[in-house]
Structures are given as C-alpha cells and as structure tokens.
C-alpha cells in the first residue's frame, strides 16, 4: 500500500515539474518566435497548434458539448486567457528579457486580489493588501531595471496587462468551473481564443514560409507544450492534490526560466530584476500561505 502511494506521489511530482518546465520555456519560445512573426501572428500560430493538439486529446478522452447559453461565456474565457493575455504578452516581450517577463507573468494573484476587492466587493485582509503593495513595488523594479535604470519601457506594463487578463480568466473560470469538466473548459478556452485570434491571420502564411527551421520548431514547441500538454498535466495534478499546496511549485517558474534563458538565449538577469523578482515571488508566496 505504501509503495502504491509513493508511486502515485512520484507521478504527481513528475507532472508538476513537467508543468514548470513547460511554462518556463514559454517566454523563451516567444522570444525566438518574434524573430519571424508579429506578436499577433505568433499568438495565432501557437494556438492553432494547441487547438489541433487539444482536438486529438478530446477525441481520446472526450469532452462535453457546450450549452448554447454558455457560448458567450466560453468566448469570454478564450478572449481573456488566450487572445488578450498572449497578445499583450507577445507585444510586451519585444522589449523585455525572457527572465523578466516570466517574473512579471507570475504577478497574476496580485491582480486577482485587486479585482475581487474592487469589482466583486470581496473582503480583503490587511495582510493581503501588504502583499499586493510589496508585489507591485517588486514588479515596478523589474520593469525599470530589466534594461537598466533610465531605460524605462512600456513593454513591461503590457506584460502586467497580460497577468491582469489571466486574473480575470481565473476568476471567471473558478466561478463557472462546476458546469464542465476541467478538460472541457481547457479545450473550449483554447478553441474559442484561437477563433478570436484569427483576426491576425493576414500574412501568416507568408511569415511561415519565410521562417527558419529553428523558429518553426520553437513555435511548434510553444503550441504543444506550454499551450496544451502543460494544461492537461496541471489538470491531472489539481485533480489529485489540494490547490493551495501544489500551487507553490509554480513559483519555481521564474528562476527556471532565467536558467533556461541563460543557456538558450545567453541572457543574464540584472541585479534589479533579481531583486524585484524576489519581491514579487515572495509577496505572492506570502499571500498563498495566509491562513483562511
């Protein structure tokens, strides 16, 4: 019995580490993809690949048919989780390092607190407000310090918009997740988001024909791993674990992304990015460890 439990725990740890590696690769793949594609084209191509992959997964595992009344909701989820999030992320990363982008992308819980308090009027503790303040200061340091003081860029603010967009998706998905299975929600979010991104289709084929093999491989990996397989693996982890416990492993994403960026892209994070990134991660971690 003990051996079976250890084996099951090992599978969960492996799945969680797989998710970390996938999502840590995401800003690196975007950095490479932007060499040949516009931000909009890159987002569309990435999710065309993800949509096709999720369609194959759905064929084997099955998904629920959506109710007509839920179609606007599913398109809203796709807009915030896929379209707006990745467009803002791609435009923002044109002027940010992959490591700094991965740090700012982890500020989602900070915006979740702000939205739930200001829009949904949910009660927020003083402790959480202190964490939000610390996280926002850290994010500002990252934005100002990525390219050196005096080289302030709006690109970092766009990545924060992407994090805010993901917060909106997370809140909506959490409120309506009881209507469908996790896999069903992921599939329809990816598919509807891809439909919204079709506005960037003009010129995509020409960019694909002019793209190098290295860039094409990077985009293919973006579509399969961070945009599809990682979500399936994360759904598996959440189905067998408590969200509050396993979510802590996501804080390994920024340092993992920085190490990967150093080897693949030759990036070296500045001291200010490390300082600000540490403040963001510690603030979010402190928020998640707060006792209910």
Q: Of 52-66, 223-237, 247-261, where does the model show the most confidence?
A: 52-66
How many percent of the chain have pLDDT more than 70? 83
- Write down the mean pLDDT value for the chain: 81
Q: What gap in Å lies between CA 281 and CA 252, rounded to an integer?
A: 9
Give the separation between CA 203 and CA 200, rounded to whole angstroms: 8
List pLDDT tens digits, range 222-248: 999 998 888 778 777 766 665 555 666
For position 208, what pLDDT does the model report?
93
Report the pLDDT value the prediction gives residue 225, as an integer from 0 to 100.
92
How does DSSP classify residue 123? -
- Beta-carbon contacts of 97 under 8 Å, excluding residues fewer than 6 positions away, are 146, 261, 267, 269, 273
Mean predicted confidence (pLDDT) in 134-160: 73
DSSP 227: I
Mean pLDDT of 131-143: 76
Write out the H or E segment, with its range, that includes residue 262.
Answer: helix 253-264
65's CB contacts (< 8 A; 6+ apart) are none
Give the C-alpha separation, 6 to 12, whole Å: 10
What's the pLDDT band for 220 if we cut at 50, 70, 90?
A: very high
**Helix pair angle (85-93, 2-33), 10° resolution:** 60
Residue 291 has pLDDT above 60, yes or no: no
C-alpha 18/C-alpha 2 separation (Å) is: 24
Distance CA 5, CA 220 (A): 36
């Amino acid at each position: 019995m003990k051996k079976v439990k250890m084996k099951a725990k090992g599978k969960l740890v492996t799945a969680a580490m797989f998710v970390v590696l996938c999502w840590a690769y995401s800003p690196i793949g975007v950095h490479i993809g932007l060499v040949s594609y516009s931000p909009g084209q890159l987002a569309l191509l990435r999710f065309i690949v993800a949509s096709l992959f999720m369609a194959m997964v759905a064929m084997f595992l099955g998904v629920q048919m959506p109710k007509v009344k839920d179609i606007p909701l599913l398109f809203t989820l796709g807009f915030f989780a896929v379209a707006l999030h990745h467009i803002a992320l791609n435009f923002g990363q044109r002027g940010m390092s992959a490591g700094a982008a991965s740090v700012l992308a982890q500020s989602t819980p900070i915006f979740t607190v702000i939205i739930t308090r200001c829009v949904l009027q949910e009660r927020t503790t003083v402790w959480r407000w202190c964490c939000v303040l610390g996280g926002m200061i850290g994010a500002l340091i990252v934005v100002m310090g990525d390219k050196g003081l005096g080289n302030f860029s709006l690109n970092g603010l766009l990545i924060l918009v992407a994090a805010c967009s993901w917060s909106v998706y997370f809140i909506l998905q959490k409120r309506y997740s009881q209507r469908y299975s996790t896999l069903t929600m992921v599939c329809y979010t990816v598919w509807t988001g891809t439909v919204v991104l079709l506005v960037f289709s003009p010129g995509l084929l020409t960019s694909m024909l002019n793209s190098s093999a290295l860039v094409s491989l990077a985009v293919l990996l973006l579509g399969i791993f961070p945009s599809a397989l990682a979500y399936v693996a994360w759904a598996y982890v959440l189905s067998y674990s408590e969200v509050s416990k396993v979510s802590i492993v996501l804080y390994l994403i920024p340092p993992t992304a920085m190490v990967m960026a150093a080897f693949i892209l030759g990036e070296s994070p500045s001291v200010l990015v490390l300082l600000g990134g540490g403040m963001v991660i510690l603030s979010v971690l402190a928020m998640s460890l707060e006792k209910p």
